Structure 1
Amino acid sequence: MAEGNKFQDLEETGEALVAYINNSQLEKLTQVKDEHHAFFDKHAETKKIVTQILKDVAQLEESAGQKLLNMEEEKKRREVELESLEEQLRQCTAQSQMTDSELQFVQRELESLRTAEHELEELQNEVDEDTTEVIPSAVYVAQLYQLITKIKWEYDTPPNILKGVHYGADLATPIDIDTSVRSRRDVSDQLWGFVSTEW
């Protein structure tokens, strides 16, 4: 029974719709149809534009993401480079401090050498002064000894060997004494034995 009512309602609705269509003007239907087509075309165009915008946005997002990744890699590379430069700076600073210390040490050594050189110059001057005073008197004393003893010494002998020649009145006597095996008194007595007591 209920299904019969539904069918009857559907029939009535269909008849009403057919009556409405029959009563409607053809121009209005054409206008509605044209508007519907225009709306559909506009919808298709809008869909196409929105699809292109979405593609462009996706491409921009991909490009921006790639740039962000590249920037992150560049940032990491720069951080590594910065750490390397900081390490080099630390090493250079340490090297510079070591070089400064070495330079100061060399400067102290140079100053010490200059002081030593100055002292040596002063000593040399003192020796030169003493030499100009002492050597002539030493030469005089040596010549005096030679005149008195009549002994001419050889000076290119080892330190423990006395070599020379005694020029006596009639005879020249060679002298060759090893002072390491004889006492100083024996050596002195032998040498004084050459000296004449006659004046």
Structure 2
Amino acid sequence: MAQSHKFQDMVEMGEGLVAFINSSLLEPMRQVKDEHLALFDQHLETKEIVTQIVKDVTQIEERAGQMLVDMEEEKTSRERELDSLEEQLRQATAKSQMSDSELQFLQRELESLRNTEHELQTLQSEVDEDTTVVIPSAIYVAQLYHHITKIKWEYDTPPNVLKGVHYGADLATPINIDTSTRSRSDVSDQLWGFVSTEW
């Protein structure tokens, strides 16, 4: 009899519980379920975003690593080029060493050339300032020849000897020609050989 009563109590309690759930907890449970689904969707979306970020970071790291490798290769290549250039410079320096007398001669000639250039600049300034000054044509032609040929002549030589110095881009070359033993054409060809064709 006691068991029957207990069973009846359980049935009533179950019915009451079902009624209570149906009446009062159904809506909150639906809300919890909806919130849970929304949270799950947000979790999936966040997971996709994080996955994409990880992929992007991985790609960036790979590109940065490749750039670093390329830069190291470029650096190594540049270092090899620098070593080669330094070796070429050492060889060129060894080949181009001059004796003290040659160096002094070139320094004197350079100083003379600078003085001449200064004189020409002064003369040009005077011409620019006063256009009424007339330069004699012989001086003008001599200066023009000197400017084109880069040859400085010595004028205290015998009539049949041409002496001077040609100031090339890299080297000053002495000129000493005996015109009595050579044709005018040969002399002219040799002198024109000093003139640069680069403008």
Given the two structures, how large is their TM-score scaled by the length of structure 2? 0.48
Structure with greater proportional helix content: 1
Given the two structures, how large is their TM-score scaled by the length of structure 1? 0.48
